[in-house]
Amino acid sequence: MKYQFIAEFYQDKHSEKPVYKTHLWGVEDGEAFIREHCFTEVPDFDPEYPKYMKEMRDIDVAILFQFHKNLELAEIIMAGKPCRKAVVYAYPADEDSEIWLKFGVEQAHWARFSGNSRDSRVQISEMYFDPVVDLPLRCFKEKLGVLTLFEVMEKLEKYFHTTPLEDIQKEFESGIERAIDIVAKEFNGDLDLDGNPQLLHMTAVAEAGKNKDEILVGMLHDLVEDTHWSFEDLLNEGFPVRIVDTLRLLTHSKDTPYMDYIRNICESGNKVALAVKVNDLNHNLKRGRAGGHWQHVAKHEKALAYIQEFMAKQKEDE
């Protein structure tokens, strides 16, 4: 039988309500672990699925469950409020390590947590539909000012009584302010062919956007192509999947001929990618003509003409 381990931390030996609760990972053989560390069976529990517990000091929990496998435990011990008592419970568990929360009217909303580290994904959906929310846990922990997954779950249940699912996505995802911070740091001091700050280009493309997604993608469109940032980094930073997928389309790989890259954007059907690429090309043409970079101008004019022809044909077909 597999077991799930959960630690509760109390302010002192007489406290009845825990300050923190956290899932603990890394135990391969739960039954052997329970025997080896002298857990006691919890009375009045289902005899077919026995529950065990062990009281100890918080530092003992840290010794038994390694920090590198339990980053949330490390945060509780090192950054949380002082706790003088800990109780570790062992529950019978399913094979997978995912954590599910059902809430709302008739428990119609489901939240799936892939773990409790800050980079673990949180996906929230209605019943069996595709996730509306897909963000790293760090977004919820930082926005809510909490340390643990259990605290996030408790607060999310309250949110869903008053807040639509789509609004929760918007409230917790990283947005334009975070994008500006990242781009300003990564392109600080970088100059274009004319000696102007490269940051001006991202700003111009973003300002040409007609909605939030176009502005956000415009600000980030050169980040992966020109810096050490990856798409996975952006997902872990809390940018939504739809934004990162659009950035994948707009990031030109050196292995792909330029006009093939332009065709891929057109054929994707991604309207945000098309709009941002048009804004990108228009600004590149403006600064290319001003600086006399005619080879770049010719390449960008060809690309823009292809996109405009594609969009015109699409409009006719509609």
pLDDT digits (tens, 9 = 90+) for 261-312: 999 999 999 999 999 999 999 999 999 999 999 999 999 999 999 999 999 9
Strand (E) or helix (H) holding 40: strand 40-41
* SS3 call for 26: coil
- pLDDT tens, residue by residue, 152-161: 999 888 777 7
Q: What is the pLDDT of residue 100?
A: 85
Q: What is the pLDDT of residue 140?
A: 93
* Distance between CA atoms of residues 280 and 222, nearest Å: 10
Backbone angle region of 145, left / alpha / beta, with phi > 0 → left and psi within -120 to 50 → alpha: left
Q: What is the pLDDT of residue 97?
A: 65
Mean pLDDT of 120-127: 87
Q: What is the pLDDT of residue 166?
A: 78
pTM of the model: 0.77
Q: What is the pLDDT of residue 188?
A: 94
Largest CA distance in the chain: 83
217: Cβ contacts below 8 Å, ≥ 6 apart: 209, 243, 246, 247, 250, 272, 273, 276
More confident residue, 41 or 160: 41
Backbone angle region of 251, left / alpha / beta, with phi > 0 → left and psi within -120 to 50 → alpha: beta
Q: Where in the sequence of the chain do the CATH 1.10.3210.10 domains occur?
A: 176-317
* Distance between CA atoms of residues 134 and 169, nearest Å: 8
Contact predicate 3/41, CB 8 Å: no
State in words which class domain 176-317 has. mainly alpha
Q: What is the pLDDT of residue 249?
A: 97
HEC letters along 260-280: HHHHHHHHHCCHHHHHHHHHH
Within 10 Å of residue 311's Cβ, how many Cβ atoms?
Answer: 15
* SS3 call for 82: coil
Q: What is the pLDDT of residue 96?
A: 60
Q: Which residues make beta-bridge pairs with 7?
A: 22, 88
Q: Which residues make beta-bridge pairs with 191?
A: 197
Q: What is the pLDDT of residue 49?
A: 78
Which range among 20-24, 154-158, 197-201, 219-223 shows the weakest confidence by mean pLDDT? 154-158
Mean pLDDT of 178-198: 95
Which range among 18-27, 36-45, 93-102, 219-228 shows the weakest confidence by mean pLDDT? 93-102
Confidence of residue 104 (pLDDT cuts 50, 70, 90): low
Q: What is the pLDDT of residue 168?
A: 82
Contact predicate 221/272, CB 8 Å: no
- pLDDT tens, residue by residue, 250-269: 999 999 999 999 999 999 99
- Tell me the average pLDDT of the chain: 91
Provide the strand spans (E) within 65-194.
85-92, 99-103, 109-113, 121-126, 133-136
Which range among 103-117, 120-134, 259-273, 303-317 shows the weakest confidence by mean pLDDT? 103-117
Q: Which residue reads 């947005």 in tokens? A: 175
Backbone angle region of 269, left / alpha / beta, with phi > 0 → left and psi within -120 to 50 → alpha: left
Q: Which of 241, 197, 259, 257 is nearest to 222 (CA)?
A: 197
* Distance between CA atoms of residues 8 and 56, nearest Å: 10
Contact predicate 127/115, CB 8 Å: no
